[in-house]
Amino acid sequence: MAQTAAYLVDHIIPRVPVRQWVLSLPIPLRYLLAAHPRLLTSILQVIHRTISTFLIKQA
């Protein structure tokens, strides 16, 4: 895994600022979403829209 990451940094990802977004959900919510995957789609759409709006405002 470390070698793959090093390769990506050295040869693939351009030398520009990169932001990584990490989504962490409480464990009970994870179980709920695992049992009802359609809910996950809706939640991810909201998260995507929120991050996109933030990035557009920053640009």
Q: What is the DSSP letter of 12?
A: I
Query: Would you say residue 48 has pLDDT above 90?
Result: yes
Query: What average pLDDT is seen over the chain?
Result: 91
Q: What are phi and psi of 22, to 5 degrees?
A: -120, 125
Instruction: State yes or no: pLDDT of 45 exceeds 90.
Output: yes
User: Over the stretch 15-40, which tens digit does the pLDDT of each residue have?
Assistant: 888 788 888 999 999 999 999 999 99
Number of neighbouring beta carbons within 10 Å of residue 43: 14
The total of other beta-carbon atoms located within 10 Å of residue 10's CB is: 8
Read off the pLDDT band of 51 (50, 70, 90): very high
5 has pLDDT over 90: yes
Q: Are 56 and 49 in contact (CB under 8 A)?
A: no
User: Which pair of tokens denotes residue 10?
Assistant: 């050295």
Question: Mean pLDDT, to the nearest integer, of 38-58?
Answer: 93
